[in-house]
């Protein structure tokens, strides 16, 4: 069957047509017909051969980790999904070590050993192919009404996992609204206007936060207009400095970082508010060291009770929350949510998407 494959040793990306079709091997597995696979920055890094590890013994890695599929067949022990269901399959699989308490608890998103695998990224083939078999316990059913936008679930899980942890942390302030998932009266800044940032902005808006999206694009850009249309404030870093942004916002309760830009992020940390939480999600490229005002940051963190944390991957709770939230987003902003998916392409067009300067927000490979 056809599969989009990266050959790290040959530095080649090819759509092969002889990838072996998978079969059900255990009665807990389900066979999926792949519908759509999203392309993101991680895929582009793999296509630059910076990243991406084929399964042991394979010269290539089938890429793709953001997926939407239809269940074709299920093993006899599967009750979680049934044929015809639309499903999103989780990406990370547990490490083998008995001592890894996270993986043994089914929370490989917090793996201690680093020996986890990830479909389409590390040691396991991904979803950019025609059919996939996996254990049904990694699959989450999506309502059929979300068919057109469900490919956004996986990138949304990043914000969902960040917010779940933020509520845990803000339980230290039980006398404020925050802590039970209610952001009313709280002010959030989202750094970056890519898919992860914009989906994060929606997740904050549905919880009642007042949201400012801070990014490079001009204030008249399509991204800025999109933010205005959902009720977020858009502020361009080209015309407004971070101290000016802080004046506009007031006490910044939460920063959701979705850029991978370290200098911008640490400058924003300087204006984080009292009792504020800063959530990093971006992975910076290896560039020259930046200088930061460490005294100021440390003084602020102590004197303002601040908390800074990073988050990666997502557990079953974040997948469930993402599906739930995407339904809320689509009911409230149908046109804006659809507009996040800027192109659907045939598998043959993937190389230009991965290596070229394809514009748009979220581009998708459609297999059927």
Where does this chain bind Zn ion (CB under 5 A)? 40, 42, 66, 95, 100, 103, 111, 113
CB of 208 to Zn ion, least distance (A): 27
CB of 102 to Zn ion, least distance (A): 5
152: closest CA among 121, 184, 194, 189? 194
Closer to Zn ion by Cβ: residue 157 or 236: 157
Closer to Zn ion by Cβ: residue 28 or 113: 113
Closer to Zn ion by Cβ: residue 42 or 313: 42
Sign of CA dihedral 138, 139, 140, 146: positive
Q: How far apart are CA 206 and CA 325, in angstroms?
A: 8
Closer to Zn ion by Cβ: residue 71 or 103: 103
Q: How far apart are CA 361 and CA 225, in angstroms?
A: 14
Closer to Zn ion by Cβ: residue 121 or 245: 121
CB of 107 to Zn ion, least distance (A): 9
Q: How far apart are CA 65 and CA 90, in angstroms?
A: 8
Q: What is the dihedral of CA 301, 307, 308, 313, to 10 degrees?
A: 180
Angle at alpha carbon of residue 335, lines to 238 and 338, rounded to 5°: 85
| Longest pairwise C-alpha distance within the chain | 60
CB of 45 to Zn ion, least distance (A): 10
Q: How far apart are CA 72 and CA 250, in angstroms?
A: 52
Closer to Zn ion by Cβ: residue 94 or 276: 94
Closer to Zn ion by Cβ: residue 191 or 235: 191
Chain centroid offset of residue 28 CA: 27
Give 78-124 as a 3 state SS string.
CCCCCCCCEEEECCEECCCCCCCHHHHCCCHHHCCCCCCEEECCEEE
Closer to Zn ion by Cβ: residue 42 or 259: 42
Angle at alpha carbon of residue 9, lines to 7 and 13, rounded to 5°: 25
CB of 283 to Zn ion, least distance (A): 11
Closer to Zn ion by Cβ: residue 42 or 281: 42
Query: Is 168 buried (19+), middle (13-18) or exposed (0-12) by CB count in 10 A?
Result: exposed
DSSP state of 54: P
CB of 155 to Zn ion, least distance (A): 6
CB of 205 to Zn ion, least distance (A): 22
Instruction: Provide the terminal-to-terminal Cα distance of the chain, rounded to the nearest Å.
Output: 13
CB of 241 to Zn ion, least distance (A): 31
Q: How far apart are CA 196 and CA 362, in angstroms?
A: 10
DSSP state of 144: G
CB of 105 to Zn ion, least distance (A): 10
Closer to Zn ion by Cβ: residue 113 or 262: 113
Within 10 A of 253 (CB to CB), how many other CB atoms are there? 25
CB of 94 to Zn ion, least distance (A): 6
């Amino acid at each position: 069957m056809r599969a989009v494959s990266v050959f790290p040793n040959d530095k080649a990306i090819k759509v092969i047509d002889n990838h072996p079709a998978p079969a059900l091997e255990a009665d807990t597995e389900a066979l999926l017909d792949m519908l759509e696979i999203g392309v993101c920055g991680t895929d582009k890094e793999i296509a630059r051969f910076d990243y991406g590890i084929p399964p042991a013994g394979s010269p290539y890695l089938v890429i793709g980790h953001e997926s939407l599929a239809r269940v074709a067949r299920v093993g006899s022990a599967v009750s979680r999904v049934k044929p015809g269901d639309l499903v999103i399959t989780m990406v990370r699989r547990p490490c083998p070590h008995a001592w890894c308490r996270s993986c043994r608890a089914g929370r490989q998103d917090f793996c201690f050993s680093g020996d986890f695998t990830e479909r389409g990224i590390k040691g396991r083939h991904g979803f950019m192919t025609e059919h996939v078999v996996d254990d049904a316990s990694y699959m989450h059913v999506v309502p059929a009404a979300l068919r057109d936008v469900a490919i956004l679930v996986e990138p949304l899980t990043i914000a969902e996992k960040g917010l779940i942890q933020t509520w845990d942390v803000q339980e230290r302030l039980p006398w404020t609204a925050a802590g039970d998932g209610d952001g009313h009266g709280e002010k959030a800044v989202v750094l970056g206007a890519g898919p992860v940032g914009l989906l994060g902005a929606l997740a904050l808006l549905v919880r009642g936060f007042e949201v400012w999206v801070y990014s490079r694009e001009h204030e008249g850009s399509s991204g800025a207009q999109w933010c205005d249309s959902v009720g977020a404030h858009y502020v361009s870093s080209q015309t407004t400095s971070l101290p000016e942004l802080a004046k506009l916002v007031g006490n910044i309760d939460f920063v959701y970082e979705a850029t991978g830009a370290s200098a911008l992020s640490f400058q924003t940390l300087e204006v984080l508010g009292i009792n504020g939480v800063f959530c990093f999600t971006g992975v910076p490229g290896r560039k020259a060291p930046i200088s930061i005002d460490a005294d100021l940051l440390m003084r602020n963190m102590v004197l303002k009770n601040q908390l800074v944390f990073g988050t990666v991957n997502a557990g079953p709770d974040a997948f469930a929350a993402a599906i739930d939230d995407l339904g809320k987003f689509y009911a409230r902003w149908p046109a804006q949510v659809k507009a996040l998916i800027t192109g659907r392409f045939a598998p043959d067009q993937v190389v230009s998407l991965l290596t070229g300067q394809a514009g748009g927000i979220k581009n998708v490979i459609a297999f059927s």
